[in-house]
């Protein structure tokens, strides 16, 4: 007996697909995207977590949280500040939200 698998097209935002309201889903996606870019910048520069912490003005443990993508522990403001301290100014672009199916 075959089971039928339903496939739902992604909205482009995994958090929206998981059922978060649009505003929360957008904020979570922005924080996650920024955290990934910060992690890449730290790695590209070959910084240790301790060295990154000194640049960012936080402890090594906070950098560890960042690298492990503990998004709930960082505000968007804090992540934007980290990006600036790493020489990666952040810019916000507004656009139309995709339509939900």
Domains and CATH numbers, the chain: 16-85 (1.10.260.40)
Calculate the CA 41 to chain-centre distance: 13
pLDDT tens digits, 89-100: 998 888 876 665
Tokens of 31: 């924080």
| Residue whose C-alpha is closest to residue 62's, from 85, 79, 80 | 79
CB contact set of 44 (below 8 Å; sequence gap of 6+): none
Whether the CB-CB separation of 63 and 35 falls below 8 Å is answered with no
1: helix, strand or coil: coil
pLDDT tens digits, 4-18: 888 878 888 888 788
pLDDT tens digits, 42-101: 999 999 999 999 999 999 999 999 999 998 999 999 999 999 999 999 988 888 766 655
Q: Does the pTM exceed 0.75?
A: yes
Residue the block writes with tokens 């910084």 = 47
Spatial distance between the Cα atoms of 30 and 38, rounded to a whole number of angstroms? 12
Mean predicted confidence (pLDDT) in 31-44: 95
pLDDT number for residue 63: 97
């Amino acid at each position: 007996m075959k089971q039928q698998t339903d496939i739902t097209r992604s909205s482009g935002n995994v958090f929206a697909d998981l059922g978060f309201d649009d505003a929360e889903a957008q904020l979570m996606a922005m924080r996650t995207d920024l955290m990934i870019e910060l992690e890449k910048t730290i790695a590209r520069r070959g910084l240790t977590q301790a060295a990154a912490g000194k640049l960012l003005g936080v402890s090594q443990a906070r950098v560890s949280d960042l690298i492990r993508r503990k998004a709930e522990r960082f505000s968007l403001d804090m992540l934007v500040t980290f990006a600036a301290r790493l020489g990666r100014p952040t810019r916000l672009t507004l656009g139309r939200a995709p339509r939900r199916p």
